[in-house]
Amino acid sequence: MTRKFIALISYLIWLSLTFSTVWAFDDQDTHPRITEKSVSNSNLDKYLNKNLGFTSGSLSIVNGKPIIKVLREGSTDEDSPLCRPSNHFHNPLKPWDQSYMTDQPWWLDLYCSSWNPRYSNVAWGTGYISPAPDGSKITIGTQQMGWDNAREYYHLALTSQSSADRETNFAMTFQSLGQVIHLIEDIEVLDYVRRGA
């Protein structure tokens, strides 16, 4: 073997061992941490305690988990399955009904064909394809964790007759909110805005 070949193999081995995770972003770590930080800087604990009777605020348990954990898991779940993030982009230079991601690789378009049509981050999270409150809305069949869903689960949590149903619906409310929070977090990432797309 030549020295160049050995050097190349050594470099590739070093590279694969050194850079196994991108330290700047990890969707299993970053979104939950941002969500938790958002909750700690909000009035959610006070609201949960004063208005809903969750005396421990975001540490109160619903369906066996602290509310903060349900929110964190929701913020992670929004990236799964693989096709769901196709709706996490927004081009602010285009109308809402045309502002979805257009530079997706062909193989992902093919794999995610059952997720068509695609929506922008804003439409995916709210259902609006033009500015609210009087804007046009769409029903998104593959989106069960948007803002409208969170509102419906919240309504059910407040009006359900059984305590088990109320608790399940509160858990779904917080999961939906976690997933909507994920979409807001994505807007803050310039790559996700796709300004030139």
The whole-number pLDDT of residue 55 equals 96
pLDDT in tens, 148-173: 999 999 999 999 999 999 999 999 99
Which residue pairs, CB below 8 angstroms and at least 24 apart, start in 110-115?
A: 111/82, 111/83, 112/82, 112/83, 112/86, 114/83, 115/83, 115/84, 115/86, 115/87, 115/142
The band of 191, judged by pLDDT with boundaries at 50, 70 and 90, is low
**What's the farthest any 2 CA atoms get from each other in the chain?**
76
pLDDT for res 47: 95
Question: Please, which residues have CB within 8 angstroms of residue 162's CB and are 6 or more apart in sequence?
Answer: none
Instruction: Tell me what pLDDT residue 81 has.
Output: 80
The pLDDT of residue 19 is 53
pLDDT digits (tens, 9 = 90+) for 65-97: 999 999 999 999 998 888 888 888 888 888 877
Q: Note the pLDDT tens digit of each residue in 11-60.
A: 656 555 555 544 445 567 888 999 999 999 999 999 999 999 999 999 99
Q: Please give the residue that has the higher pLDDT: either 110 or 12.
A: 110
- Per-residue confidence at 144, pLDDT binned at 50, 70, 90? confident
Choice between 156 and 5, residue whose per-residue pLDDT is larger? 156
* 108 pLDDT above the threshold of 80: no
Candidates 187, 176, 165, 162; CA nearest to 75 is 176
